[in-house]
Structure 1
Amino acid sequence: MAPSLLSADDLQPLLDEVSRFCSAEMALITIRPETPASVEDISKLSQSAFEFGILPGDSQEPDFALWEQPENVNAIAFSIDALKQIASVNASIALAWHRNALARFLARSIESRLTAAQQAPLALTVISTGHHGLARGSLARWLNQKAVNEDQSMLADWLDRDVHKTTVTAPSQWQNLIWPVWHNGVMSWQFLNRREIAITPCLPQHGLDELNTWQVSASLEAGVVNKATQQQVSSMLILDALGLLAIAAGINQHGETMAQAFASQRRQGGQVINQHAAVQSMLATIEQAQWETEITLGSLTKPLSALTVKDALMARQQLHPKLCLAANLVMQVHGGLGYMQDCGPEKLLRDQNMLRLQSGGIREIPLFTHAWGEGK
């Protein structure tokens, strides 16, 4: 039986329900920015999101949850806007749910049958890239079926999970992991249980306080390995980039609201500070970053098959630095670091900085996009 497609008429009512969920459920456990939500609270909240339908459920047929109908433009719009709303309340939880939904999408793509335990909220996560960066131009050439011998060597090293440790940032509840590996000369998917992975906990990171970070590695003989296709890898990279941008937009949306409210109340030199030119300039830069991000996400709200990895990654390269600057300016509007650590802007800045580093970061995207256009 074919899944029901999400219609344009249903989109806004569903997003309104997500907004109510964020206000009624999420805000209660994230109201104090200096106190990260507990593991128990995140587990309960994720179970509620699972039952509510934000996280993919236990049905084998795709529904309306995050990334479940990527060829339906309304479902793509739902996933992007829902992640923005969730991230405007808490970016860590948004990232955890995005990665869980992305892993579930990937499991469906490779026709992996999940057990009931693997379908539980937050049980499954995904790493979309190799141990560092984006394999320079080699990944782009492989995706376009133009890889040469040097690219094979680069990809084999990039995806060598046995020799190189890879960083994973996730909720502590994760039990299973999907990631690309290089197996017998071809890119493949490896599906692992946590017991099959060598795990080294990292010190607390710069941001995303509700999540933990580990260095992980695994033998190629562990778990289940299936050959990957270019289409599967492209789809994963595109959806991951869209999710990261949506979360970044949600962080900035929160910061913009905070900065505007504070600037309209705080007085300095006999007038509210939003009357000062310097503050007006900062507020305008924050607003401009949000406008550019919304416009870009709108242009990328298409069926998955109509998108390219190049477009998604170029959007990351273009927008993440601007959003990090905007987060810094939100803090400056509030008076800088100092006494603002306990009122929210500083946490938004740290979370935004961490998002920029996810999934290979943005430093090698120019090499990727250059290689993408070779021979065209």
Structure 2
Amino acid sequence: MDHELSDDDIRVLLAEVQRFCHKSIEPLGERPDGVIAAGQLTQLTGLASQFGLLNLGAEPGAGLWEGTGGVGWLKFSSAALRQIARSNAGVAFHFHQLALGAYVRRRLGLDVGEPSVVCLQGRFGLARCSLARLLKRQPLDADDLALLQDFFLAAEVAEPKPWLFQAGDDWRQLLVPCLDREGRLGWSVLARQDLPLTPLLHSHGLDETVTWQWQPTESMSRLIPAAAERALAVYAEAFQLNAQALVAIACGAVRRGYERAREYAALRRQGGAPIGRHAAVRQMLARTASVLRIVELSCQQVACSPVGFSHLGAVVAARAEAHHLLCTAANESLQTLGGAGYTRDAGLEKVVRDCNHLRLLCGTPDELLMFLSEWEGDAPAGTVGVESGTSSAGCGVPLASAPSPRQSLAGHVAADHPLSPRQAFRCFPPLTSRIVSYEPAWIWDQDTAALPPPLAELRRRTREFAERELRPRALECDLHPHDPEADSAVVRTAAAAGVLFSHLPPPLGTGHVALADYPLPWAAAVKVEELCAACGGWGLMLAAHALGLLPLLLSGDKRAWKRFLIPANQRTQAGRPCLFAFAITEPNAGSDVEAGYGASRYRPATVARRAEGGWVLNGRKQYISGGDIADAVTVFAALAGEGLASWTCFLVERGAPGFRCLRNERKMGQRASGAAELELHDVFVPDDHVIGGLRTGWALNRATLTCSRLPVAAIALGIARGAMDAAIDFVCRFHCGGPPLIDRQEVQLRVADMIAETSAMRSMIWQHASRLPVTQANAAMSKFRCSEAAVRVCETALELLSQHGVLHRNYVEKHFRDVRLTPIYEGTNQINRLAVIEDFQEHLLNP
């Protein structure tokens, strides 16, 4: 466009964009979690072209990224993408891709009539410092060339490896940056019909689009005629526009989540007041609002800089910081809704997934920082930890077989080197060598060796079962949860292996008799970590069974043990598995039934009234893990006419007239375990099914929560460990620019962070679980600290895989979705923090 846009022009155009979104995009997503299908996306593309938002024709127009010669058009495009993303982030990304393709075609002098997308991210992540040196026109060494030949489509690579890119379905050409034999940048235009394309389904987010994998061939590296300097400038411009767009889209998605969280906070009540009045919720909403202000202001400032080399660093720096802030804010909005936020129906989990997905495309924050370290001139030429002269070995998917053994990682001496610590320590005399001298062992082996023998045996036994039975089923059950045959198969194998009751000593369980000498939460935590390292969903299902047992165990009622627990164990060993579940949460009360203050103001909705020979229960329970397949459920109900102080625990058996599972929630993760809504309609419960006595339910509930929060912390730890293991396997097997990723120092630093986080989590859990009595404060501290640390570990694991982190087949994105539930159940982390204060309030009142 020849004229510049004023701020008034931009406001007018954005009002039109908003009307377009309300009229054309939002009706297609009838539900908050609704995914717009490929055919609908194609229709939207046509409507956006007619509207002028997308200009895919040869004539000049006013579409996205079209008039980028002026600052006003940059500001409009960035703001328009934020607006569209408030309706649907996937649609916004799709529009951006098509608009960026048109922009690159115009800049290269190509016909704009062919809908095109641009593949900017290379085979893996970002070429870090080497890409910065290329764009700064600095001399490149052999290491740079090796990395760039793996990042770009290169003529010199004999066996090109697959590439990944994200796009919708209605494009016809792919624009790819290439390196010629002299290391000069150019562009290649590839027709879709000539590409060996594979759509990789079930990727992490941006559900409206597809993660495409394509296999380059040597003939595809033919460059279109364009001066090398112009080709380089076009790449830098596209890189800059793409960075602006990804932040803008994520910002719009978070704004959508924030608005939903505010609406929910005004309606949902806890402790007798809307949750929006509680300081914990107000702070979460305020932090999200603050992030949005900061990032939106950053977007506006960045958009005021013309496209070109001189402003690329500022745009990349803004993106490197913005994505961490936005992902944190998206998580805060989800946390505001508690259990409802984790369901797909609410739409908040989609916001979290979309933001994560955008963070992994075209450079993670760490990769962007490495780029900036060279771009800003803060680092000398050359890469750390790679020998000069390394030749390219190609960049591909993780190898099927183990890599060839090596003596050391880059930047480290071999274990048998005289300067290796372990080698040096061997010279110590026997008197002191036992203090410092040690043989190499992985963390799992070290920690298992430190356990008491019965717990070490439980850990080994559970790990063997989980690796054999759960891990091979993990991805399938995530895609197709609640399949009766799959559920039955896992339960049967768990029963046959003695896993269902393995944390309990005989006659209550199948564990070692000496387990009676150790606190129950410790055994449960050791066990559930192993289950969830293999699969968070199956692990939760089996942990939910153990949770359902807890009220019976903690009641100390030996008659109930003999009547229910011992027979259940015997039936399970005989091949007829018996599962339990725990039901306290009600449709209008989550936190209220987990904290004393809220409970004192809550009117119970599940009520028991006296009947001849027993009690009749009416009400509903919600988000009951394993409630859909349990044979018996410990249901907590208030006595008619009384409050929660009258809460009583009733054992309700499957098949009881009036007792049924209404539905399972559609969840973000941990999908193999149902989150059931249970209905009790005039359900008769005999007197001998009252657990612990009348009006003891509140004490039994609080004791159960205290003992179960430590295993929940271990669930978080197990999932984090699973993500860490998957990421370590990836970086040890994935080659980029020659050596595997683990040879890069920045990768080693993040792996060390994950190892330290998981080790600290385990130490905290085991320390608190090994003490008697188990205190509410210790259990709550373990729960909120470990669940939040586990989310960080999974985020780190995602980033280590870069764009490969979005792929379902690589496990890590599943681990992230699974772990995101742990800060919510067994009391949100905000409730758990208050539980710590509740335990110490006497001291705080009289310090």
Fold match by TM threshold 0.5: yes
Is residue 334–residue 342 contact of structure 2 (8 Å, CA) maintained in 1?
no
Identity across aligned pairs (percent)? Answer: 33
Return the letter of the residue paired with 1:358. L
**1:337 and 1:132, CA in 2 relative to 1: closer, same or farther beyond 3 A?**
farther
Out of 216, 219, 223, the residue aligned to residue 218 of structure 1 is: 216
- Any idea what the Cα deviations from partners look like across 1:302-324, whole Å, max 9, x if unmatched? 22248522211111110101111
1:288 — aligned with what?
290
What are the equivalent positions in structure 2 for 1:1-376 lying under 5 Å apart? 3-61=2-60, 63-114=61-112, 116=113, 118=114, 123-150=115-142, 151-160=144-153, 163-185=160-182, 186-222=184-220, 225-226=223-224, 227=226, 228-229=228-229, 230-302=232-304, 303-305=306-308, 308-336=311-339, 340-374=343-377
Aligned residue identity for 1:311: A
Shift of the alpha carbon at 1:33? 3.2
How far 1:338 moved relative to its partner? 6.7
1:173 Cα deviation after fit: 2.0
Larger radius of gyration: 2
Shift of 1:205: 0.6
Where 2:303 maps in the other structure, the secondary structure is coil
1:273-299 CA-partner distances (Å, limit 9, x unpaired): 011111111111111110110121121
Over 6 Å off, 4+ runs: none
Aligned partner of 2:333: which letter? V
Q: Distance in 2 between matches of 1:243 and 1:293?
A: 12
Kindly state the Cα deviation for residue 152 of structure 1 after the two structures are TM-superposed.
2.3
* Residue of structure 1 equivalent to 2:658: none
The CA deviation at 1:73 is 1.3
Q: CA offset at residue 373 of structure 1? A: 2.4
Amino acid at match of 1:156: Q
Give the whole-Å Cα distance in 2 for the aligned partners of 1:30 and 1:307.
41
**TM-aligned CA deviation for residue 25 of structure 1:** 0.9
Q: Secondary structure at the match of 1:191?
A: strand
Give CA-to-partner distance per residue, 1:348-369, whole Å, 9 cap, x none: 1111110101113222112111
**In structure 2, what residue type is equivalent to 1:157?**
D
Shift of 1:337: 6.1
Contact 1:196/1:218, CA 8 A, preserved across alignment: no
Distance 1:145 1:64 in 2: 33
Cα distance 1:47–1:224, how it changes in 2: closer, same or farther (>3 A)?
A: farther
Q: For the residues of structure 2 that align with 1:106 and 1:289, how far apart are their CA atoms?
A: 32
Task: Work out the CA distance in 2 between the residues paired with 1:351 and 1:4.
Answer: 35
In the alignment, is the contact (CA less than 8 A) between 2:313 and 2:376 conserved in 1? no
How many residues are paired up?
368
State the alpha-carbon separation in 2 of the partners of residues 179 and 243 from structure 1. Answer: 19
Kept after mapping to 2: 8 A contact 1:234/1:308: no
Q: Distance in 2 between matches of 1:214 and 1:304?
A: 28
Equivalent position amino acid for 1:268 in 2: Q
The letter of the residue matching 2:287 is: T
Given that 1:183 and 1:220 are in contact with CA atoms closer than 8 Å, whether structure 2 keeps it comes out as no
The structural deviation recorded for 1:222 is 3.1
- Matched letter for residue 203 of structure 2: Q
Kindly provide the amino acid, as one letter, of the partner of residue 161 in structure 2: H
Contact residue 161 and residue 216 of structure 2 kept, 8 A: no
Q: Return the alpha-carbon distance in structure 2 between the equivalents of residues 306 and 125 of structure 1.
A: 22
CA distance in 2, matches of 1:175, 1:113: 13
Please report how far the alpha carbon of residue 149 of structure 1 lies from its aligned counterpart in structure 2 after TM superposition. 1.9
Structure of higher RCO (CA pairs closer than 8 Å, 6+ residues apart) = 1
How far residue 147 of structure 1 moved from its aligned partner, in angstroms, is 3.1
Structure 1: which 5+ runs fail to align?
A: none
Gaps of 5+ in 2: 380-847
Single out whichever of 37-46 and 299-308 deviates more from structure 2. 299-308
In structure 1, distance between residues paired with 2:347 and 2:81 = 19
Listed one character per residue, the Cα deviations across residues 218-238 of structure 1 (whole Å, up to 9, x for unaligned) are: 224238623543321211110
The SS at the match of 1:221 is helix
Aligned residue for 2:166, secondary structure, equals strand
RMSD: 1.9
Question: Aligned pair in 2 of structure 1 residues 147, 337: CA closer, same or farther (>3 Å)?
Answer: farther
Give a deviation string over 1:188-217, Cα, whole Å, max 9, x none.
111110122221221311111111112112
Kept in 1: contact 2:244–2:315 (CA 8 A): yes
Q: Which amino acid aligns with 2:15?
A: D
CA contact (8 A) 1:180 1:187 kept: yes
Instruction: In structure 2, give the amino acid aligned to 1:273.
Output: I
Q: Residue 321 of structure 2 contacts residue 365 of structure 2 at CA under 8 Å; is this kept in 1?
A: no
Matched to 1:95, the amino acid is F
SS of the residue corresponding to residue 179 of structure 1 reads strand
Check whether the contact 1:15–1:81 (CA below 8 A) recurs between aligned residues: yes
User: Counterparts of 1:306 and 1:163 in 2: how far apart (Å)?
Assistant: 30
CA contact (8 A) 1:29 1:37 kept: yes
Could you tell me which amino acid in structure 2 is paired with residue 153 of structure 1?
A
Question: Are the structure 2 counterparts of residues 72 and 266 from structure 1 closer, same or farther at C-alpha, using a change threshold of 3 Å?
Answer: same
Q: 2: distance between equivalents of 1:181 and 1:125?
A: 15
Kept after mapping to 2: 8 A contact 1:192/1:223: no
In structure 2, distance between residues paired with 1:158 and 1:339: 37
Q: Secondary structure at the match of 2:67?
A: coil
SS in 2 for 1:97: helix
Q: CA deviation at 1:10?
A: 1.9
- Partner SS for 1:274: helix
* CA shift digits 1:57-78 (9 cap, x unpaired): 41343x2110001121111111
Q: Judge conservation of contact 2:153–2:177 (CA < 8 Å) in 1.
A: no
159-168 vs 296-305, which moves further: 159-168
Shift of 1:143: 0.7
> How far apart, CA to CA, are the structure 1 residues paired with 2:341 and 2:260?
17
Contact preservation (8 Å) 1:86, 1:250: yes
